[in-house]
């Protein structure tokens, strides 16, 4: 992908493709920020431990930080007024089902609750739909993470009434014991 993506609803927000030199900072935002306890680790999330650097690198392999395999997954840095505010990623695109899973985290609590997450997700979905024909997008937070669920709903995702067994069959294992699936559909007109 060439150049930054600009979020139309909030012109001050853009997405820039993450590069290898961003990898350590993206990890720090995930594993060592004041937002981390709202997503993982004891006491609230004993079912999802905070990853080590090595575990993070095993999940977010180099192609997430370069354009070598865009269909296999990619990270983008959320930027506002020149400040890096967080990261949004898509996992491998299932070309047959036209589906991908998204993940997002902000670098600090100061950026939460300002609409950056939902605006960014809307924009990334539109980009992936146009560039790769993706029609379904899922996010799978813990049902304990009410703030994230509310942001996903504002971005147009709808909670799916799936049992844990149905979730695993359709989408594989989730990160949490109480994982919920929210789905957004974009179709070609």
Q: Are 75 and 60 in contact (CB under 8 A)?
A: yes
Prior bond of 106 cis (ω within 30°): no
pLDDT digits (tens, 9 = 90+) for 32-43: 999 999 999 999
pLDDT digits (tens, 9 = 90+) for 69-116: 999 999 999 998 889 999 999 999 999 999 999 999 999 999 888 888
Which sign, positive or negative, has the C-alpha torsion 136, 163, 102, 59? negative
Domains and CATH numbers, the chain: 5-134 (3.40.630.30)
The predicted model scores a pTM of 0.90
- The region, left, alpha or beta by phi > 0 then psi within -120 to 50, assigned to residue 163 is beta
């Amino acid at each position: 992908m060439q150049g930054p993506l600009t979020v139309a609803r909030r012109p001050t927000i853009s997405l820039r493709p993450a590069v290898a030199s961003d990898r350590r900072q993206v990890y720090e935002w995930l594993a060592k920020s004041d937002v981390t306890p709202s997503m993982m680790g004891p006491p609230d999330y004993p079912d999802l431990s905070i990853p080590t650097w090595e575990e993070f690198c095993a999940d977010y392999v180099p192609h997430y930080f370069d354009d070598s395999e865009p269909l296999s997954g990619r990270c983008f840095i959320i930027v506002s007024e020149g400040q890096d505010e967080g990261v949004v990623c898509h996992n491998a695109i299932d070309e047959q089902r036209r589906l991908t899973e998204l993940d997002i985290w902000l670098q600090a609590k100061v950026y939460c609750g300002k609409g950056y997450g939902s605006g960014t997700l809307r924009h990334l979905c539109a980009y992936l739909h146009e560039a790769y024909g993706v029609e379904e997008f899922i996010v799978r937070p813990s049902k304990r993470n009410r703030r994230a669920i509310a942001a996903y709903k504002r971005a147009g995702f709808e909670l799916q009434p799936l049992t844990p067994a149905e979730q695993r069959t359709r989408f594989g294992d989730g990160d949490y014991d109480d994982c919920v699936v929210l789905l957004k559909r974009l179709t070609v007109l």
